[in-house]
Structure 1
């Protein structure tokens, strides 16, 4: 935190310098203005112009070009114009060059105070404290999950309106079996963030397991509220799949889990749901997906161009995707790996499908896209590396042949 305040002070120094710098030039500017006003001949010029125009009017009257009434009217207009010009030229006496110097320190103090107060209200000081707590527990030889929870609970009392406190607390409460506390933390987070689908889904899941995997009225209400906002919410779909499986409705369970897989990025969760699908298929007396998937597909060998190897870390995510050549369907198959596994050979078949409505066995040709994401984001980001093949035949998978994709470009 000390480093943070030092950084804020360094940022304030240029602003304070800009407030003080005009005072250094105040004396020279005052002298220049005084000299200008002392030598200003605007008034004399205006009077000379007035006299010339008045003389012209008098000559016109003597020639009979204008009558006396018109003469008086034009003369009054000239006098009024002279008075207006003279009034504009009237200046207040110049103040001393030192005038207002005492105000500057007060302005400087006010600016610093407003900046500090604004940062305390709108800045991320609280989040930096949370980061410091996490690092302190990790570096403590006696650090433990219990110590982490205790420190975070202290921060919850100090920062009750910081959503990141509750976002950190409710998962560890859930993992340690403190379900009532997990519910309370999640409900507090929803008070701050709103009743958004991801939080509603988490609350529904916790209450579902607290009710011993029963779809109670309370859980059903949370499920309905979630699906009304997001019909593809994977956590709720996974929950519904578990409930259908427990009731023996394996076909419904498989449908829910497949829809959930289409919207999940975590490979571990996807693997768990696929295992559940296989068990459900076995219970139904049909061949599991792993065996069924040994049909049409594409074997792909992926490598990284050596010229780009130093641009990514070994733990960066690699997305190997097959798409239809027309680009009309969702991804037909997706395999996720890491840069440390390259070069590697993978099989893209129906077991890697994200949705039963879009599988690689449904097409004769596919476009292969391989992308390296340092952040692990599913959507392409500037700076990602990628390579592709526009058209690859889909058919029986052979151990002897593999489509070669080299990651050799940078996504702009």
Structure 2
């Protein structure tokens, strides 16, 4: 906020000087003119007074008036001179009137400008943005985190059109285990931006968790919509496999999981979990007396299709990142690792991948399939900041004790080259 007030001062002070300068300059001119006018009037009054005194002295000398009359008439003449001298000065002072109003404007205009900004401006939004950035960098305590969440709730009410802020709120609620609150926010975003396929997948996942990790008709409907628009979405494929397995469609379950598996980093926890799911589906299929080989053929077809989808997603709007972990950054194998691209102006990721410490070192591709919202993805920018963060705290938001590495500026012209990031800086 300090920079804001300095900027306001730089804008307001020249305005005040612009108003005050002509006033001060005019005052000097008027003061000079009034001084000359006053001196001329005073000289004329004195000359007239001396003339009248000379006439009285002549009358006294000729005997036309006596001594008593002379003194009386002289005193009256003096009183008249003093009385007539005052209005000249009063008129001169009246000519200076109006400068008080201008001086009042010098102070009133800046204060009014600041007041109007505080009333109509976006200084609250700027303060919230700064707090979110501080939270992202791990500089916020628990009280600050709670305050940010509350302010995001209030902003969602006062600015319902701000879907980005609402998405940040949904993520915070999901991390804090407020599943119903997160579902509410995700539903609102999807209702107002139906093309946000990645967020619809997150909605399906939040609904799944909110219902005790059970598939429901609503979750299945959302998954179907996601897969129709984005067949290679790993979140939706994973949920579709769960639904198929619960319905004892073991071949379909394995096919869905295989399609998701081909997009995972080999050896990662997510990869191992899906591989275990595939093995479980195969075992269940064999126990049920199903055609394991036929199912395998279907799975391979699905894998090929998923690979084709993944390849088509890569291209000019993709960045290949290799992430390594410094020896100094020790953490449990299950510690989350977030790898994402964002702009310098916003902490909201344009593309993000979530892994674990056990997956490192690893090479991932950030592309359109990793986007959170279609309106904010890699294709919409020409320069990004890359961040790889070891979330020791376990939270999606940076916190003290986390480790990270970053590339502060990567122009589009360098996106075709592999980028190395070492997680070696403690927050």
Q: TM-score range by the shorter chain?
A: 0.3 to 0.5
Query: Could you say which structure has the higher helix fraction?
Result: 2
| Structure of larger gyration radius | 2
Which structure has the higher relative contact order (CA within 8 Å, separation 6+)? 2
- TM-score norm. by structure 2 comes to 0.42
- TM-score norm. by structure 1 comes to 0.43
